[in-house]
Copies of this chain bind each other. A is one copy, B any other.
Amino acid sequence: MAIHSYPGRLFNRLFCDFLHLHSSHYHHGRSKRLLISRFFQPMNLRDDRMTGAGRSSELSCKSQRLMLQAGLIQPANTGCFHYLPFTVRAMEKLVRVIDEEMQSIGGQKVDMPSLTSASLWKISERWDLLGKELFRLKDRHNVEYCLSPTHEEAVTELVAMQGNLSYKQLPLMLYQVTRKFRDEPKPRFGLLRGREFYMKDMYTFDVSEKAAMETYNLVSDAYTRIFEQLGLEFVKVQADTGSIGGKMSHEFQLPAEIGEDRLLMCSDCHFAANVEAMMGAETNCPQCHGKLRESKGIEVGHTFYLGTKYSRILGASYSNTENKPIVAEMGCFGLGVTRILAASIEILSTEDNIRWPGLLAPYQVCIISPKKGSKEELVTELAATLYDTLIDALPQLHGEVVLDDRSHLTIGKRLKDANHLGYPYVVIAGKRVLENPPVFEVSCQNNGKTVFLTQEGVLDFLRNVKVA
């Protein structure tokens, strides 16, 4: 008997096992308070409890050490990490910033498979070229695949399959934010060089080289805006096109001692390049002959003008004004999503305390309640009231405020933990909550300042906090 013949409601009433009825409205009401005592390990991975990979000598950079200590990541396999709740929150915020910028320039979001067939990579001759960096596998029918580290072939085939792009649809800008795979010879530095990582990759299709260059600059400018929003100083350098190929390439580098890229920059003009992109070991600027200085950087973005390298061999073309098929000019544009997170921490943090780009901090505000047994314990509900009032009055802080309810710990100990994790604002219900009206201590992590404010004052103070 076909299920379809039952009216839905009756069907459920008659047959459903354990069916619980609930309001079917999508609820946006106040959620429960976020209590640190219930968090999965933001402060549990202390120095004295560091597990295997955490303790070993491979722990050679600050961001990896801090992220392990604070319970932001946990090693799984070589070069593969569990991203724990704080990291997931920061990553989701970064993805929102990236989505906003990519879509503001016309980017359309797609999601391509991780498994790409060997046959496609053989067409571009990269099946052999990438050698051991490709993770390769066979399915149950003995068909060969790789785990895609990048998707030039896949996206070009996807566009070629449409076979009916009009010049009016160009530039076509497709992007995704997905997990990528690379069998690194030396995975290290935590999320800075892993074997599984998240990347934003955009692929663009244009009518001509001139149009492709305009698109190239459009995307590069969007990258600039992203790093500016994050408050990260960067250098855009001329780069080698490597195994991706193409005619022109730039990298977005974050200057850092730990960086694995060597950059050469001219003190007199705007020239900057990755050493890999230079012919031999030059000491003078090829543009103005000024002296070149060397520095190190973490590559967080890479842009390529590809020309027709992939579109020609895979047949990605468009119809021009005369309805004639023309091979599209391509560009590709990567941002290392998980790498940007780790690089930000590497660059902004002190030796002991994580500092985030304000927009990416997993939670914006931490409220520390009075210690159990203290005089202030009498007004311990003031911390909870402040929590609820903040959420009600400032909707953008919904989900952004945590309450450190571990009242068996001193305020000093909890403040140290909060400093360690890098909440931009820490609000302490300390001695002065006994005053009338009660006064809270607000510590601003990004400028080190402390102010004393009433509840009303705290609300005003946090009114303009930006949340991605």
Interface positions of A (Cβ within 8 A of B):
1-4, 8-9, 11-12, 14-20, 22, 24-27, 31-32, 37-41, 44-45, 49, 51, 74, 76-78, 80-85, 87-89, 91, 97, 100, 103-104, 106, 108-117, 132, 135-137, 139-140, 143, 145, 147, 154, 158, 161-164, 168-169, 172, 174, 178-179, 181, 183, 185, 195-196, 220-221, 224-225, 228-229, 231, 233-238, 250, 255-257, 265-267, 270-273, 293-297, 359, 399, 466, 468
Compute how far the CA of A109 lies from the CA of B81 in the bound complex, rounded to whole angstroms. 14
Compute how far the CA of A257 lies from the CA of B1 in the bound complex, rounded to whole angstroms. 10
Give A87's nearest chain B residue, CB to CB: B111
Give A198's nearest chain B residue, CB to CB: B111
Among B26, B106, B181, B273, the residue within 8 A (CB) of A229 is B26
Is B22 touching A221 in the complex (CB atoms < 8 A)?
yes
Most B C-beta atoms less than 10 A away, residue of A9, A18, A39, A294? A18
- Known A38-B106, A114-B179, A163-B49; judge A17-B272 contact (CB<8 A): yes
Compute how far the CA of A113 lies from the CA of B78 in the bound complex, rounded to whole angstroms. 11
Is B1 touching A294 in the complex (CB atoms < 8 A)?
yes
Compute how far the CA of A378 lies from the CA of B405 in the bound complex, rounded to whole angstroms. 64
**In the complex, chain B residues whose CB is within 8 Å of the CB of A44:** 162, 164
Is A3 touching B296 in the complex (CB atoms < 8 A)?
yes
Is B272 touching A16 in the complex (CB atoms < 8 A)?
yes
- Known A139-B135, A267-B14; judge A224-B26 contact (CB<8 A): no
Is B140 touching A183 in the complex (CB atoms < 8 A)?
yes
Compute how far the CA of A436 lies from the CA of B85 in the bound complex, rounded to whole angstroms. 56
Is B15 touching A77 in the complex (CB atoms < 8 A)?
no
Is A77 touching B224 in the complex (CB atoms < 8 A)?
no
Is A24 touching B169 in the complex (CB atoms < 8 A)?
no
Is B257 touching A113 in the complex (CB atoms < 8 A)?
no
- Known A17-B270, A22-B228; judge A85-B113 contact (CB<8 A): no
A-B contact pairs, 5 of them (CB 8 A): A31-B104, A85-B109, A114-B114, A115-B181, A140-B183
Is A224 touching B19 in the complex (CB atoms < 8 A)?
yes
Is A267 touching B15 in the complex (CB atoms < 8 A)?
yes
Give A160's nearest chain B residue, CB to CB: B51
Is B77 touching A24 in the complex (CB atoms < 8 A)?
no
**In the complex, chain B residues whose CB is within 8 Å of the CB of A11:** 233, 235, 255
Compute how far the CA of A15 lies from the CA of B18 in the bound complex, rounded to whole angstroms. 67
Is B359 touching A26 in the complex (CB atoms < 8 A)?
yes
- Known A11-B233, A135-B137, A237-B17; judge A108-B1 contact (CB<8 A): no
Compute how far the CA of A168 lies from the CA of B39 in the bound complex, rounded to whole angstroms. 11
What's the minimum C-beta distance from A213 to chain B, rounded to whole angstroms? 12
